[in-house]
């Protein structure tokens, strides 16, 4: 089974059911990265959750990424962190995490930001939003043109994000994305439970 999904946590998690659901989803062997994206949690609580998730990702051979926060990524020895344009900059994040950790960078719909990320040594770039997303408010709209450009020009792993589901994911992959980022489609799907939702995504 090809691993081509960059899975992002729901905005809030119910610890009673989430860990079991996560393990079952990761057991499908479609996920390469799992990003913990939990805003407005106290550091102690976030670290506690992250440690539990790390056991699940490690068991399923999935890379654990912490959103926004290289300090927490270092504290729990995650595989890396993802930084946005308003977060701690790449050079500082690299200094905190060291050379052997993954750092991905949000590039919205910008060739300039993607080229900068490559120049600085990012491990992957993320473009979006490609479709309307219920997970987060989107200020930037991306289209498949930037995927085609990035595949030719920057030669590094490309993550596409924003409203991706079982109806549109193939178009994204066909046009140059290496990974599709999913959250709402998996965790808040009104028709399918998380495992059935992820099983609809196959290449």
The three-state secondary structure class of 19 is helix
170 is in which domain, residue-wise? 5-199
Counting the structural domains of the chain, the total is 1
Query: Partners of 5 in the beta sheet?
Result: 31, 180
Q: What is the CATH number of the domain that holds 117?
A: 3.20.20.70
pLDDT score, position 132: 83
Per-residue pLDDT reduced to its tens digit, 154-186: 989 999 999 999 999 999 999 999 999 999 999
- Residues of the chain whose pLDDT is less than 70? 135-137
Other CB atoms within 10 A of residue 12 CB? 11
Is residue 137 packed enough to be buried (19+ CB in 10 Å), middle (13-18) or exposed (0-12)?
Answer: exposed
* pTM score of the predicted model: 0.96
pLDDT at 135: 63
The predicted structure's pLDDT at residue 137: 66
Helix ranges, 65-120 (H): 70-75, 90-97, 111-120
């Amino acid at each position: 089974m090809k691993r081509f999904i960059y899975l992002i946590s729901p905005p809030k998690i119910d610890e009673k059911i989430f860990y079991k659901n996560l393990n079952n989803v990761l057991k499908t062997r479609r996920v390469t990265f799992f990003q913990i994206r939990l805003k407005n949690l106290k550091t102690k609580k976030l670290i506690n959750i992250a440690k539990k998730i790390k056991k699940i990702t490690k068991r399923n051979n999935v890379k654990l990424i912490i959103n926004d926060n290289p300090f927490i990524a270092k504290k729990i020895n995650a595989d890396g962190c993802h930084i946005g344009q308003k977060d701690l900059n790449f050079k500082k994040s690299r200094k905190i995490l060291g050379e052997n950790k993954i750092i991905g960078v949000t590039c919205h719909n910008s060739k300039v930001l993607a080229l900068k990320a490559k120049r600085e040594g990012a491990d992957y770039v993320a473009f979006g939003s490609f479709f309307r997303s219920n997970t987060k408010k989107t200020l930037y709209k991306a289209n498949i043109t930037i995927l085609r450009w990035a595949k030719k020009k920057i030669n590094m792993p490309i993550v596409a994000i924003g409203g991706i589901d079982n109806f549109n994911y193939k178009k994204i992959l066909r046009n140059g994305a290496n990974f599709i980022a999913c959250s709402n489609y998996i965790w808040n799907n009104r028709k399918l439970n998380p495992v059935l939702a992820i099983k609809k995504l196959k290449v």
